[in-house]
Amino acid sequence: MARNTSVTLTPGSVGSGITTANYIGKSVYDSDKLFRGKIRDFRVYDRALAPAEVLDVSGNTTGIGAATHPGLKIDAIVDDAASKITLPLTEGTDLSTLAPQFTISQGATMSPASGTPRDFTEPLTYEVTGSGGEKRTWTVEALIMKSPVLPGLTADPNIVRFGDTFYMYPTTDGFAGWSGTKFKAYSSKDLVHWQDHGVILDLGPDVSWADTRAWAPTMAEKNGKYYFYYSADTNIGVAVSDSPTGPFTDPLGKPLIARGAFTGQMIDPAVFTDDDGKRYLYWGNGRAYVVPLNDDMVSFDASKVTDITPSGYNEGTFVVKRNGTYYFMWSENDTRDENYRVAYATGPSPTGPWTKRGVILEKRLDLGIKGPGHHSVVQVPNTDDWYIAYHRFAIPGGDGTHRETTIDKLEFDSADLIKKVVPTLSGVDPVSVGATLPTHTNRSLQSVNFTGRYAVARSDSLGYVDPVTSSSTTAVKQSATFTIVPGLADSTCYSFRDTSGRYLRHKDYRIRFDASNGTVVFTKDATFCARPGSVTGSVSLESYNYPGRYLRHYNYELRIDTFQDTATFRADSSFKAVTPWT
């Protein structure tokens, strides 16, 4: 099956050339089971047998030993037990006219004949007749193999979306003992085509307290800063940058969570942001923990750390929220085990209590998929489309330190439980995050009120009646320059106050002041986010909105229509317009 030429030990080295420890059909370990019965035919070869020879020697005269085609991305997957062959082909291969070649036993025949061009857009069958006349039907399926999605060996992928771009942050794999030192970033507009942004953090020169075992990172954003949490030499560190692709620097000069701080290994961080903007840090190996992060994103109150370890937990926590339910996911078994897999629980809060629901991702041997796990999940905005990124043993020949990253769909059933994920070799089709909006396009954003709605108090051209004093004065339509900046959307809550002291909230996506036009800079609001002070002067904001998403004005809503210059809002109820605004 394979050959290892790096062996230095020779048979003569065992027992000084004489040993009685080894037997045909018997392990050297007394606790192992023994071969039962007699051995009829035992042979030693000085070479690997060809597929046809394996069939002949084994007596599998109706078997197919191998399948070949110039377009194969990896070797064909032959499942003898299921009488099935899978042909994983490179992108661009025409499935409608394939002529694969098959290896069968000497004296056996195949119908249709090996090498016959056929349309493989659907699975096809072949019949193999053995030398003794026995028959067997095989199913052959061709597919376009679009995985792995990242080049080379990677693992523990953290997938996240900022604005209209998806980002992936994996472990760099392929090192004995997982001894890699560097983290890289990748970005994509469609989950299929990924751009390599190179190394964003190198433990050697960039981190003073660790220089090996760079594992399992995660990324979060707040107030225009990007926070990169990572495992380093079984500690958890944090680095910060102004960009999701770095460069990143270490703001602490020490681990955020040091080795030994809690039971288990301090590895595998993950950050979840709740609807109220509060961030939670999860981590652990052997034990699972969660703690609310402080506003600075680089500290927490250790007294608030909660142990949330479920049965079967090993590592790789990830949390999402959907329809008011929190989904706590993790990996079970060891990453070197082909039975490495993902399970999950549901709960009413980011800290539980949790109800375990079962396994949602595990191996699929008919496609050669082993050890799928240590995942993350991302949602396409304005949809209920969810995707799961995870690693598996590299195909072919991978193991627990030679892994690769892929993406498949994650779906929910009518009861809001996660359906079993179907791991594939074909991956996913390209996705879109929505309409692409123009960059730096100024829009006039006018406040429009309807009869019976309330206007914001202003001392300008439109009249209003003070509901307390009944005195008449003036008010004016609020207006602003609205600058659309793709790529800046995030889950940060920003609030701004106008000259009346009333608040403009943008809870779902980021709003930034554009100081280039000389207007007064807005400051963040401490009641809802961090409040230092009010502002005066004209309003100039910079933001990124998807169709149908809302800015919030105090406790009311302001909708931005994607390709129009107007919007509507309701303001504070202290002032009522004399006449409807238009």
Residue 428 lies in a domain: no
Gap between the Cα atoms of 328 and 335, Å rounded: 19
| Domain CATH code at residue 122 | 2.60.40.2340
The kind and range of the H/E element at 524 are none
Whether residue 185 is found in the same domain as residue 115: no
> Scanning the structure block, which residue is given the tokens 């096809």?
124
Residue 21 lies in a domain: no
Reduced to 3 DSSP states, what percent helix, strand and coil does the chain have, rounded to the nearest 5? 5, 40, 55
Each residue of 138-176: pLDDT tens digit?
Answer: 999 999 999 999 999 999 999 999 998 999 999 999 999
Whether residue 291 is found in the same domain as residue 402: yes
Q: Which two tokens stand for residue 81?
A: 């037990």
Cα–Cα distance list, 574 to 147, 360, 447, 552 (Å)? 59, 52, 17, 18
Residue 13 lies in a domain: no
Gap between the Cα atoms of 172 and 156, Å rounded: 9
> Scanning the structure block, which residue is given the tokens 């390209």?
430
For residues 346 and 354, is the Cβ–Cβ distance under 8 A? yes
Gap between the Cα atoms of 516 and 214, Å rounded: 41
Residue 449 lies in a domain: yes
| Domain CATH code at residue 267 | 2.115.10.20
Nearest to 391 by CA among 188, 146, 181, 157: 157
From 144, 179, 212, give the residue that closes a domain: 144
Each residue of 419-471: pLDDT tens digit?
Answer: 999 999 999 999 988 543 333 223 333 332 222 222 333 333 334 444 445 55
Whether residue 132 is found in the same domain as residue 165: no
Whether residue 213 is found in the same domain as residue 77: no
Q: Which two tokens stand for residue 265?
A: 């290994």
Q: Provide the residue range defining the domain that includes 487.
A: 441-577
Whether residue 180 is found in the same domain as residue 138: no
For residues 270 and 284, is the Cβ–Cβ distance under 8 A? no
One pLDDT digit (tens) per residue for the chain, 582 residues: 677 888 887 777 777 777 666 667 777 777 877 777 777 778 889 898 888 899 998 899 999 999 999 999 999 999 999 999 999 999 999 999 999 999 999 999 999 999 999 999 999 999 999 999 999 999 999 999 999 999 999 999 999 999 989 999 999 999 999 999 999 999 999 999 999 999 999 998 999 999 999 999 999 999 999 999 999 999 999 999 999 999 999 999 999 999 999 999 999 999 999 999 999 999 999 999 999 999 999 999 999 999 999 999 999 999 999 999 999 999 999 999 999 999 999 999 999 999 999 999 999 999 999 999 999 999 998 899 999 999 999 999 999 999 999 999 999 999 999 999 999 999 999 998 854 333 322 333 333 222 222 233 333 333 444 444 555 544 333 333 333 333 333 333 333 333 343 334 333 222 333 333 333 333 333 333 332 333 333 333 333 232 333 333 222 223 332 322 233 333 333 333 333 333
For residues 371 and 337, is the Cβ–Cβ distance under 8 A? yes
Residue 30 lies in a domain: no
Residue 245 lies in a domain: yes
Residue 418 lies in a domain: no
Residue 303 lies in a domain: yes
Gap between the Cα atoms of 91 and 145, Å rounded: 7
**Which residues lie below 8 Å from residue 326, measured CB to CB, with a gap of 6+?**
319, 320, 346, 347, 348, 349, 350
Whether residue 504 is found in the same domain as residue 535: yes
Per the structure, the count of domains in the chain is: 3
Gap between the Cα atoms of 402 and 370, Å rounded: 12
Nearest to 85 by CA among 341, 98, 130: 98
Nearest-5° angle of CA 561, CA 563, CA 568?
25
List residues bridging with 560 in a β-sheet: 567
From 144, 177, 197, give the residue that closes a domain: 144
Give the 3-state DSSP-derived string for 467-493, with helices as H, strands as E and coil as C.
CCCCCEEEECCCEEEEEECCCCCCCCC
DSSP 128-149: EE-TTS-EEEEEEEEEE----S
Whether residue 205 is found in the same domain as residue 332: yes
**Which residues lie below 8 Å from residue 522, measured CB to CB, with a gap of 6+?**
496, 497, 513, 535, 539, 541
For residues 387 and 332, is the Cβ–Cβ distance under 8 A? no
Gap between the Cα atoms of 240 and 228, Å rounded: 6
Whether residue 162 is found in the same domain as residue 131: no
For residues 158 and 398, is the Cβ–Cβ distance under 8 A? no
Whether residue 283 is found in the same domain as residue 400: yes
Gap between the Cα atoms of 483 and 513, Å rounded: 9
E strands within 312-449? 315-322, 325-332, 341-347, 355-361, 373-379, 386-393, 403-410, 441-446
Active-site entry in 164, 173, 250, 315: 315
From 370, 392, 410, give the residue that closes a domain: 410
For residues 441 and 545, is the Cβ–Cβ distance under 8 A? no
Nearest to 164 by CA among 196, 194, 187: 187
For residues 305 and 261, is the Cβ–Cβ distance under 8 A? no
Gap between the Cα atoms of 272 and 386, Å rounded: 16
Gap between the Cα atoms of 238 and 218, Å rounded: 10
- Distance from the Cα of residue 246 to its chain's centroid: 19
Nearest to 339 by CA among 379, 367, 317, 370: 370
- 301 belongs to the catalytic site: no
Whether residue 129 is found in the same domain as residue 205: no
* Furthest C-alpha separation in the chain: 111
- 408 belongs to the catalytic site: no
Gap between the Cα atoms of 35 and 148, Å rounded: 40
Active-site entry in 156, 164, 173, 250: 156
Whether residue 217 is found in the same domain as residue 352: yes
Whether residue 388 is found in the same domain as residue 484: no
Instruction: Identify how many contiguous H helices and E strands the chain contains and give both numbers.
Output: 2, 37
